[in-house]
Structure formats: C-alpha cells, structure tokens
Chain A
Amino acid sequence: MAWFKKSKAPLPKASDKKVHMPEGLWTKCQNCQEIIYSKEIERNWNVCPKCDYHFRITSQERLDLILDKDSFVEMDVELKPKDFLDFKDSKKYRDRIKAAIKKRAINEAVICGEGTINELPVMVAVLDFGYMGGSMGSVVGEKITRAIEHAIDHRRPVIIFSSSGGARMQESIMSLMQMAKTSAALMRLKEMNLPFISVLLDPTTGGVTASFAMLGDINMAEPRALIGFAGPRVIEQTIRQELPEGFQRAEYLLEHGMVDMIVRRSEMKDRISQVLRMFFKS
C-alpha cells in the first residue's frame, strides 16, 4: 500500500510547454540558436543579424542578389537528367529526378546564363543544393561546360557559385567524367585569358571541389562555408579521431591558402564587380 496517494496531475512534459507560433514567422538561427523574426533575416540577405550566420539560399535568390535587375538570360533551361543506368537504391533515380524537379521547379541542379554585374556582362552558373544536394551528373557537367564555352566564344568572364555534395552517384562513372570535362573547359578559358571566379558556398565537397570549384583564378568563399574534398564524417571514420574546431570551414581554408578571400553576402556583388574590373576590360 502506498503511503501517499498521487493527487496532483503529473507535471506537463517539456514539449507541451512550447509556445505555438504561426509557421515561418520566426526562424531559429542554426548557429547562435537565437529566435529571430524571419522578415528581419530576409531583409539582411538571409544572414543572421545576431551572429552573421549565412543561411543557405536558393539559386534564384543568389542570382537576384548578384546580377543587375532583369539582366539574366538563362541558357539550356530544358536539359533534364536521364536515368541511363536504371539506377535504383532505396528509390529509383528516375523517381528522384521527378521529385527534385517538382520540389525545386528547375530541371537540373544548376542554373546557367548570361547577365550583368554593375553593367559588366558575365557568364554565371549557380548550383542548387536543394536539387539532389547540388550533385553533378551529366547534365550539370554539360551545362557548366556549355556556359564556359559560351564565355570563350563571347569573351565573357565566368563566375560559378558552388554548393554541392559532389558527383552524383546515380550516374556512376559518367558523373566522374564530368569532373574532367568541366576542368578541360576551364583549361580553354584560361588559354583565352578570361577570368574565372569560383565562389564556394556552404557546403561544397567531393567531385565539385575537386574539379571546377577549386580552379578559380580567384576563389571566394562565404563566411563559415563548409568546403572540402572528403566529407567530415568520412574523414572521422578513416582516421578515428575527432576533427579540430573549425575544420574545413572557409576561415580554415583561407588560413591554409586554398581560398583568396572570404566575402560576406551583403558585399558579394560589389566585390565580384571590383575583382572582375581589375582583370577584364569590356
């Protein structure tokens, strides 16, 4: 027999205490954990006003941020990936393609085209991390190669914004070959003395880092962006020890001589414009 009877209701669980807020009105910063009014983040280039954390943005938002208003003309919009290997893991590749197209409303993980930056005509490519992790398959490689070739034909500087998990496994060897293809195109761009700015965004790893993204005449990175060849988890498993603080972050790469400068999002457009004008006479 119990000495005391439980007369009180049990304490409410922590989860019940949560204040319910309308979806999307407030955003919790992944870095400083502050709860911030979403509109304020948007007004601040999608950067946390408290800690300067750069939230990931879509390829379209990136273009709006960098190019002069209404100057962008997209190329190769219609190119779609093909499941030529009938690749199937837990899902079929063709279903993953369909889902990605639906989710992101773009046909592939890169948007390429021509535009102007402070009135200077440029070729620009932006990888979209939301589309299958920005992975490079045959179409991404093809679009980037075409963009570089277009730049060679029309004497334009090239800017590529990378955010990607690397080569796309579902296209196996053909994805790997895109690394060679895009890098070879950059060899030709270099021969023509046209500047190439590579902007490395959070995150850029694997086959994209190990091809065009590291080949910029100028490599720029956004603050705190994760940039590396192997992913941190793979490295941890291989060497079986914890990774040092800040490992593979933009600041770490700057320190080790892999990027030329870290540029905050709010200053990106003007910085690119400044750099290009140093090397390029239109």
Chain B
Amino acid sequence: MQPYLDFEKPLIELETKIRELKQYSTTDTSFSSEIEKLEKKAEKLHKEIFSKLSRWQRTQLARVPGRPFTLEYVNYIFTDWFEMHGDRLYRDDPAIVCGFARLEGEPCAIIGHQKGRDTKEKVYRNFGMPHPEGYRKALRIMKMAEEFELPIFTFVDTPGAFPGIGAEERGQAEAIARNLREMAGLKVPVITTVTGEGGSGGALAIAVANRVLMMEYSIYSVISPEGCAAILWGDGGMAPQAAEALKLTAQDIDALGDVIDDVIPEPSGGAHNDPEAAAKNVKEYLLKNLNELKYLSPDELVEHRYQKFRAMTRIQE
C-alpha cells in the first residue's frame, strides 16, 4: 500500500473496507449494493478532502515520498535519454541529474533535481539538495544545449540548496548566482516544470525560464514553511501557519498572474497515484509551451525571458 498522509486516513480506511468486502463476496453472497454505496461514499469523501486542502496539506502532498521524480518523468516523456555527469571542476552531484534526450523525436537537454526512494538512495541523492557542483554541472549542460541549439527542460523538486560546510566553501551562493545570470542570457527556449518542492534559491538556480509551469500539487517558495516559522514565529512547529502566510501553492502563485504560466493538472489524489498519467499531462504542456516558443529567434528568446522576470514587481503607489 502507498504511504498516505494524515488527512487521507478516513479515505484510506474506507477504501480498505471496500477492498475487503470485494474479497469476501462470492457469486452467492454478493455485497454489490453495499460496495456500490461505499464506493459512492468514498468518491464523495475524496472530493470533499481534496477540494478544501489547506496550504500545509498541499505542502505535504508536494513532498509525498511516492511522487514521481525527474528520472521517472524522463522515462515516461522522453526517448533516447543519456545522462551526463560532473561539473568538470570537482565531482558529480547526484542531487541534480542532467542529460540529453528526445521529445517527440526532437533532441533536447534535461536538467532536474533528483530525490531518492529508499533510505540508501535518499542519502545518495542528498534528499534532492544540491551542492555547488550540481549547479555548475547544470550550467555546463545548459551552455552545451545553447551551443548545439537545443531547447532546455528543467524539473524542479528540491527542499533547497544544501546548507553545509563544504557547500559554503565551494561557493554555493556563487554557483546559484552565476546560474541566475547565465540562464538569463541563454539563446534557446527554456521551460521549467515545478514537479514537487520549489525550494528557494536552490530551485530558482535552474528555473530562470521562458515558461514556468507548476504541477497542481506542487509548491514554490522563498523559504520552507518550517524555516519561515522558525525565523518569524520563533517556532518551527508553526509551519502550517507559515505555509498559509507564504501562499506557496501552485494555485496561489498562479493567482499572482505573472510568475508562472500554467498549472498542470494531476491525477486524482496526486501524481503519486498514477505517475504515468501525471507524466502524460506534463508532456502535453511541455509540447504546447515549446510550440509557442518555437517562433522566437534566439535574441527574442533572451528578451522574452528578461522581460518576464523584469516585470515581477509589486510597489505601493
């Protein structure tokens, strides 16, 4: 059984009951009317829960362990994939995967955060928190894509850039800052999809794009709700309140009007319930957005991206 979240518990219980009833029913003693009733009830409950998710619940969904990660999306959406490793300066950072593949036959570059499934892989991927070398690898691949005139797809899913001694020593801030500046000048289309957690500068460092898309149950924020709560409330336990205040859900950010371009719908209950269907939706949106950017010249792409971010301002009149 999939791991589930607290607020899903009544639903899971109901579904378990239905499954049990189905198991016990034979041709003679059918519970079909009972089952039907319960299934209707489950459907209603599901709608009820998911129609009024709090921002904190959405945050939990964005982090749910079963959610598809970059390599799964690559597997479902692209063909001909090969991975590239290392920043040519220090080492290969497994928290960011980079490579090349084809989308509907057309070559492209892919960059994305990568989390792990089991404990061992989680540690290997550093929970999707990159070091500077991860960002430098990403930049190397983006520059390569530019050289060979390939569009770039990035997938964002990170709690944030890793805060550690080594990361500081090797210039975490410099690596992120450089990516922001260099991405602004890329002469090829860049499309970013926030698939799970859009964690601050660690997310933005691969997200200065012509188009920014967010999955229905993804979040994007300047700081994690926990971090925000610790600083502003002096108590990390106030994270649910901080999540409300930060307005970090895809729907909130879409409502701002100028930060993201599309919200990609997810299968019922979240992408983890049907990764393949989720990937199908992502593919559809990637193709749509790439098609719209196709008609821009290299210089127009740079200008388009510049103006997109240039316009993000809120000033008291």
A residues contacting B by CB (< 8 A) are 79-82, 84-85, 87-90, 138-139, 141-142, 145, 167-169, 171-181, 183-188, 190-191, 206-207, 209-215, 228-230, 234-235, 238-239, 243-244, 247-248, 256-258
Contacts and interface: CB of A to CB of B under 8 A. Distances in A.
Given A89-B242, A183-B184, A184-B180, A176 B173 contact: no
Contact of A258 (B174, B185, B256, B306): B174
B176 interface: yes
Contacts of A186: 181
A173 B259 contact: yes
A145 B177 contact: no
Contacts of A90: 232-233
A229 B176 CA distance: 10
A207 to B, nearest CB: 6
Contacts of A175: 222
Given A184-B208, A186-B181, A228 B247 contact: no
20 contacts: A81-B314, A90-B232, A139-B313, A171-B222, A176-B201, A176-B220, A177-B312, A179-B177, A180-B204, A210-B173, A212-B177, A214-B173, A214-B174, A215-B178, A215-B181, A228-B168, A229-B172, A230-B167, A239-B164, A258-B174
B203 to A, nearest CB: 8
Interface stretch (B36-44, B141-149, B223-231): B223-231
B171 interface: yes
Nearest to A107: B316
Q: Give the bracket for the number of chain B residues in contact with chain A.
A: 35 or more
Contact of A174 (B241, B259, B306): B259
The 8 nearest A-B residue pairs measured at CB: A230-B163, A184-B184, A183-B180, A89-B232, A209-B173, A229-B173, A80-B316, A229-B172
B253 interface: yes
B181 A184 contact: yes
Question: Binding site of B, secondary structure by majority: helix, strand, loop or mixed?
Answer: helix
Given A179-B204, A229-B163, 20 more contacts: A81-B315, A85-B247, A89-B241, A89-B245, A90-B233, A141-B313, A169-B228, A173-B247, A179-B180, A180-B183, A187-B185, A209-B173, A210-B161, A213-B177, A214-B171, A228-B168, A229-B172, A235-B163, A243-B165, A258-B173
Specify which of B162, B170, B184, B314 lies most central, judged by the most chain A CB atoms within 10 Å of its CB: B314
Contact of B184 (A167, A187, A207, A238): A187
Contacts of B245: 85, 87-89, 172
A238 B160 CA distance: 12
Interface in B41-85: none
Given A180-B204, A186-B181, A207-B201, A172 B172 contact: no
B200 interface: yes
A211 B178 CA distance: 8
B309 interface: yes
Interface string B285-317: 000000000000000000001100110111110
A173 B181 contact: no
Nearest to B228: A169
B314 A84 contact: yes
A169 B167 CA distance: 23
A188 B181 CA distance: 9
A178 B201 contact: no
B310 A184 contact: yes
B221 interface: yes
Nearest to B185: A187
B182 interface: yes
A247 B306 CA distance: 36
A94 to B, nearest CB: 9
